């Protein structure tokens, strides 16, 4: 029997197995390749996502960093200011705080300085008031001695030590004051202007009068020099009287007008500009120092008393030598004689009996009496002027206004004689001056009578009360 040949079968089987093996191997390889590709793709995609995330994170971080940098810059500039084109920083919160702190510190220092200055001003004010009180008391206590020293100076020219005292020197009681040409000229102006004001024809604000009063009160006004303004810190270098203002009623609570005056000074702080400042009660620059209002009556009494002292000084040898004032001895005698003559004339006219005379006879008699007295007057003038020939001399005294003013009133004649005896040149006084002096005297007399009546009423009331009590 023949054997079956299996070689072909085996070859075919091997080829088939091999083919299948390659097939599966290729499929496996393809699957692996696909898986690798998938893995690579997944890895690539993951890498892309990671890269994108990283970039996003980096971008966000960069934005945050930029925003933080911007915020830091804003904060820095807010604190330290911004830099300009010149490279310098200006503004800034810290700089403003420093500046504010500096200003507050400076304000504190200024406040402290102001407090010190106010304290110093108070001390100066107290010192000023104390000095004024001492001066007032000294003058009051020593007035009789000062008056005797004035009489001695008038007669001999000798100046006693009391007139050199610190509380007298430079005041109205200092005789040397009236030998100053500027002061003497100022008093002339005041003597001329004051009657006009009293008559209502002048003004306290007359520039010439203001300048003259400024000289009269220059020592008081100059007391402001050296004081420091508490607001500006400037020191007063110069002061002068700037104005005199009349207040119609300084005490509204009292019935009737109580007039007063307010003095304004002009001060210079060294820059040449004059600033108006009212005179205060303590003569200080303290804001709490009130404006001084002087009752008009007080002011007029002070001015007239100084004018009287000036007239007294004008009789001294020193005054006459300095200002060339002529000897008034004969002139005073003439004035006395003229007053006596006018008195006698008034008596002669007063004795005429109108009931026995017609109007024509009365007028003719009066004219005859006046003619006779005029002749007597001329004789007196020639005798007392040293000109017996009757020629007019250059130094012949002026016609007195006393007779016209008195108009036969014996009380007025007596008043004129009393003023003449006090050394007042009555002949040089105008009718208005005589009338003003008369009215002031009458007011003073009426006031004294009223005070006397008031004293008597008080005495009677007290006496009655004592009797009731008993």
For residue range 227-276, what is the model confidence (pLDDT) as tens digits? 777 666 678 888 888 777 777 776 667 676 677 777 788 888 888 888 88
> Is residue 213 within 8 Å of 241, Cβ to Cβ?
yes
In a domain, 449, yes or no: no
Are 306 and 365 part of one and the same domain?
no
* Measured CA distances, 354 to 94, 302, 372 (Å): 108, 48, 20
Long-range contacts of 208-214 (CB under 8 A, 24+ apart): 209/244, 210/241, 210/242, 210/243, 210/244, 211/186, 211/241, 212/185, 212/186, 212/187, 213/186, 213/241, 213/244, 213/303, 214/186, 214/240, 214/241
In a domain, 97, yes or no: no
Are 186 and 280 part of one and the same domain?
yes
Token pair of 336 as six digits: 């006395």
Query: Which SS3 state, helix, strand or coil, does residue 36 take?
Result: helix
Q: What is the distance in angstroms between the CA of the first residue and the CA of the last residue of the chain?
A: 201
* H helix or E strand, kind and range, residue 247: strand 238-247
In a domain, 453, yes or no: no
**DSSP one-letter string for 397-442:** PPPPSHHHHHTT-HHHHHHHHHHHHTT--GGG--HHHHHHHHHHHH
| Residue labelled with tokens 């003569």 | 283
Instruction: Work out whether strand 293-295 and strand 260-268 pair parallel, antiparallel, or are unpaired.
Output: antiparallel
Segments of the chain with pLDDT less than 50: 1, 326-328, 383-398, 461-462, 464-466, 468-470
In a domain, 395, yes or no: yes
Are 204 and 344 part of one and the same domain?
no
CA atoms of 163 and 139, how far apart (whole Å): 11
Are 135 and 268 part of one and the same domain?
yes
Are 254 and 379 part of one and the same domain?
no
In a domain, 424, yes or no: yes
In a domain, 438, yes or no: no
Are 264 and 336 part of one and the same domain?
no
In a domain, 213, yes or no: yes
Instruction: Identify each DSSP E strand in 27-148 by its residue range.
Output: 82-83, 89-90
Are 146 and 229 part of one and the same domain?
yes
**Residue 57: predicted pLDDT:** 87
* Measured CA distances, 66 to 52, 73, 377 (Å): 20, 10, 120
Single out the residue in 288, 321, 354 at which a domain terminates: 321
The pLDDT tens digits for 367-385 are 777 766 776 666 556 544 4
| Structural domain count of the chain | 3
User: Which residues fall within 8 angstroms of residue 163, CB to CB, at 6 or more apart?
Assistant: 146, 149, 150, 153, 169, 173, 174, 175, 176
CA atoms of 227 and 102, how far apart (whole Å): 29
Are 140 and 236 part of one and the same domain?
yes
* H helix or E strand, kind and range, residue 265: strand 260-268
> Is residue 349 within 8 Å of 407, Cβ to Cβ?
no
Are 258 and 237 part of one and the same domain?
yes
Are 350 and 259 part of one and the same domain?
no
In a domain, 87, yes or no: no
Q: DSSP letter at 171?
A: S
Single out the residue in 30, 45, 64 at which a domain terminates: 64
CA 105 to chain centre: 31
Are 260 and 214 part of one and the same domain?
yes
> Is residue 248 within 8 Å of 259, Cβ to Cβ?
yes
Token pair of 216 as six digits: 């009269």
> Is residue 341 within 8 Å of 376, Cβ to Cβ?
yes
Single out the residue in 321, 347, 368 at which a domain terminates: 321
For residue 28, give its domain range. Answer: 9-64
Are 114 and 241 part of one and the same domain?
yes
Angle (nearest 5°) at CA 126 between 121 and 127? 95
> Which pTM value belongs to this model?
0.46
CA atoms of 122 and 109, how far apart (whole Å): 19
């Amino acid at each position: 029997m023949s054997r079956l040949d299996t070689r072909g079968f085996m070859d075919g089987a091997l080829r088939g197995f091999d083919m299948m093996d390659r097939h599966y191997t290729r499929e496996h390889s393809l699957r692996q390749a696909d898986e690798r590709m998938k893995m690579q793709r997944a890895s690539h995609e993951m890498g892309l996502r990671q890269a994108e995330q990283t970039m996003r994170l980096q971008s966000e971080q960069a934005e945050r960093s930029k925003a933080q940098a911007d915020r830091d810059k804003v904060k820095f500039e807010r604190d330290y200011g911004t830099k300009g084109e010149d490279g310098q920083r200006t503004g800034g919160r810290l700089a403003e705080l420093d500046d504010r702190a500096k200003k507050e510190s400076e304000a504190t220092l200024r406040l402290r300085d102001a407090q010190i200055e106010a304290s110093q001003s108070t001390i100066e004010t107290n010192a000023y008031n104390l000095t004024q009180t001492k001066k007032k008391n000294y003058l009051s206590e020593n007035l009789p001695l000062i008056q005797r020293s004035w009489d001695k100076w008038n007669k001999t020219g000798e100046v006693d030590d009391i007139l050199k005292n610190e509380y007298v020197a430079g005041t109205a009681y200092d005789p040397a004051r009236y030998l100053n040409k500027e002061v003497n000229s100022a008093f002339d102006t005041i003597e001329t202007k004051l009657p006009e004001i009293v008559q209502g024809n002048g003004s306290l604000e007359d520039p010439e009068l203001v300048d003259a009063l400024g000289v009269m009160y220059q020592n008081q006004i100059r007391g402001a020099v050296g004081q420091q303004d508490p607001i500006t810190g400037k020191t007063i270098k110069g002061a002068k009287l700037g104005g005199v203002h009349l207040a119609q009623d300084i005490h509204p609570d009292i019935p009737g007008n109580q007039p007063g005056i307010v003095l304004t000074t002009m001060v210079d702080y060294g820059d040449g500009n004059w600033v108006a400042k009212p005179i205060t009660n303590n003569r200080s620059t303290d804001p709490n120092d009130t404006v001084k209002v002087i009752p008009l009556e007080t002011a007029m009494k002070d001015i007239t008393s100084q004018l009287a002292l000036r007239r007294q000084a004008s009789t001294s040898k020193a005054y006459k030598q300095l200002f060339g004032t002529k000897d008034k001895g004969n002139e005073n005698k003439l004035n006395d004689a003229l007053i006596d003559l006018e008195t006698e004339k008034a008596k002669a006219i007063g004795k005429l009996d109108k009931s026995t005379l017609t109007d024509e006879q009365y007028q003719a008699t009066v004219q005859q009496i006046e003619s006779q007295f005029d002749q007597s007057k001329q004789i007196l003038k020639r005798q007392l002027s040293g000109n017996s020939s009757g020629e007019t001399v250059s130094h012949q005294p002026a016609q007195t206004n006393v007779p016209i003013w008195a108009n036969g009133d014996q009380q007025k004649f007596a008043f004129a004689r009393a003023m003449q005896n006090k050394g007042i040149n009555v002949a040089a006084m105008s009718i208005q001056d005589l009338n003003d002096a008369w009215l002031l005297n009458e007011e003073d007399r009426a006031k004294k009578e009223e005070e006397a009546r008031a004293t008597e009423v008080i005495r009677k009331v007290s006496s009655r009360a004592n009797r009731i009590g008993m």
